[in-house]
Structure 1
Amino acid sequence: MDKIKNNNWLSIILNTEFQDVTQFKTLVEVSMVSKLAREMLKPIVFERVNVHYANIKLESSIFSKANDKRIKNIEYDYHALREENYRAIEDSIDYLDLTFINIKKFSKSFKLLRMYNSGYFLFPIICSFENLTSLTIMYCNIPFTAFSIIGKQLLNLNNLHMLNVNLVKSSTDIIASSDISLPPNLTRLIINSNQVVTIDLLLDHYEYLFDKNSYNHSYEKNSNINIDLGVEEFLNSNPQLETLDVSTYNLKMNSNLNSIKFLRVDDKICFDSIKNVSNLNSISTLIFNMHSIENTENFRKFCMLCNNLTELRLSYQRFNNCQVFINEFLIPALPTLFKLKTLQIDGIHNIRLPKTFNFAKFNQIEQLVLSGSGPVSKIKFDKCKKLKRVKFTLIYYKVDEDNSSVKTMEKFYYRGWNFKYEGNTIFGNKT
């Protein structure tokens, strides 16, 4: 017991090896051991800040009340609401600002999740975290005017991820794409399903905060599509971006994509701009989400520009005849995709009158990943000379004589291959 008492526990707590093997929650509890321990562990405890509607349960916070699902259908008397909660919004903002004031300098990552209308008031607080390198915002409304200058405030940001974010403005706000400043050191940019929204309730903060009616929102024409977020301007002036993930966005392919290594787009991109592009040789991973089979020809032309592609992932809601797509659009692009190692196709639909999918022409790939529905026995890959790994997540409902459907997991044999079955997924490795 004396030996235990004589241990220098503070030096153990501050040891990086101890911290690496200790759960974050435990480190938070350990930080309460002493004032010195708290001070020394702050860079770890406060490195990542997550604000979510479920964890912002502050008794004095009106934002907790606004996000409470139990009151989402309540009709409010906004005059009474203002009287009962006089300065509650301002006080909650001040309280949060005070809470964060001593930890801002330690925070590298900030996530604002599902704060909905409350996000409009919380986003300006985030912009004071000058040392942030990563910012994630999902399912929130934020002020468009504040977002437009994010590049001037969060200069150290290298990762920006925005999903289902409404960029809120009043009818008098006029913001052009040239007015938007994205952080200059970004290397990873993900903007999916964001919209510009005009709301004339902003003058009354309480009515806006508790507003549940989408008919009060006026969506900008064609703004579903992340229009005018200054992406092209940013690409042309910041050539160090390595990861770009944009969906439902009319991205001009003749923008400066020379530094992009990972690109995720869909068929909303501006295919007309491809004719002005000589190559996209920097791209090694391409994820392409198809909404319409009509764009497969354009997709083939797009692929043929990516001479250094090592990973290709394709997704479509319903590939009814995947073999036709393979034969007519993928195989013609193969001569330029000689570095391709991984091919992934999601959305296969091969239940009714199952067809054979033959990947014999893909001699260069080392990994094949398929998902959707249909019998695994219809997949032929034995001619793929360099293939080492396969992963098939294919649900197959076999129809019995009484017309009832039964989910089955087919087991099949390939000479020289070992297969492992986990749920609906088959993993295969060449021996």
Structure 2
Amino acid sequence: MRKILLLILIVLLIGCSKKNEQILLFEAGSGGYTTYQNDNIKIKISDNIDEKESVYTYILNELQKINEFSPIENLEIQISKQYIVPNIDEGIKCDAKFLETEEFKKELIRKSYGIYDNWISEGLYAKIYEIEKKEVDYTTYYANNEFSLFGARFFEPFATKEEVENVQAASRDLVKYLLENNKKEEIIKNNISISDIEEWTKERGIDLSYQNEIQSLMNRMEVYRVADKFIINTREEINGFKIDISIAEVKAQYSTALQYDTAEKIEEIILRFDRDTLAIKNGIEGEAPKFYTEYKEILNNVPKVKYIFNSNDDGGAYGGYLKLGSDEIHLMDMSVHAHEYCHFLFDNSFKEKGIDISSPLSLWIDEGIANYLDVVYSEAYIKNIEYGFYVISDITEHLEGQGLTGSQLEAIQELNYHELSILVENNIDIYNIDEIVKE
């Protein structure tokens, strides 16, 4: 009996010591910073920060709370006055003011475990910091609205205040449910599947059909706001992307920004980007198998591209353009994405292998490839045709407010007339979008 009691006591002591184990960091100073670190954590505090010891103590206390929930895996924090605008692409770089925000605590959780989905960090934030549950009847809300856990749903102005409150409440309840059902490791490893939440949604009468449609967006990208920028950034550096949206332009309701001014529109855009990108690569493989075989390593390992969504841009290109010598595609019209992506695919990726088709002598090849793959394989091209033929009844009237001269308007109108004439003369039904695209 005494042996059993002793064994129980040892188990309890081990459990308690593990839970309350203090984070130990070693201090070193160099290059204008004081650094505190161990194998998993690194905190750098600039000499330009006031009350450095207090700042360090505060951060350490926050990390202790997170570490007690589950050991921190990998985290780097850098505090300096130069980071008035936080940088959270890799690690956390910010000034002391950012430490006071709720977003800092959520970012600590995300970076401590490599979590991307906002709904998970929202739920863990409530759990770790013991946030009192708000009385939000999210089940009634989702009885009348589509259920989506994608990150853009957590931010105004892309979602209403009501939706933000409801998705936060639902996320906290969902994470609590998953933890109670022994899914802690899956949560931390970003390994929650749609089947893991089915029972939770059934119990609460939530329709999962829309979440199923956008599931490919989950466990894949982080969504956050930094100053006036709204950022969507995939975890993949290869075949990944980063989207940069001006919140000021969305709030101002610029006509171009209306393409992506809601979370649902952003979800649709990313899904279409994914489909078009895949269709283009599959098209190359199908139509040019020898070329694909020779260069498939390049085609299937494309460096991360940065999409800048612009309402006003002085790049001099209608709709969008690839900024030469960079990884940036500027988009004013979302429908030109596939065309500009083809430029990025063949220009940037192939240049690394010594193949250049963007020189002045071969620009026609570059444009020809981009035009062909866009027209044949992208959904965006179909949308453009639908818009041009069925939405704009008078192309001249549509363009009058674009600052074009009379002769330019006449030329565009004549071009539109000839395009229609070609279709009619070739017995193509202009009211059948599938036939137009096929031909």
The structure with higher relative contact order (CA 8 Å, sep 6+) is: 2
- Give the TM-score taking structure 1 as reference length: 0.27
Q: Larger strand proportion, structure 1 or 2?
A: 1
Q: Larger helix proportion, structure 1 or 2?
A: 2
- Give the TM-score taking structure 2 as reference length: 0.27
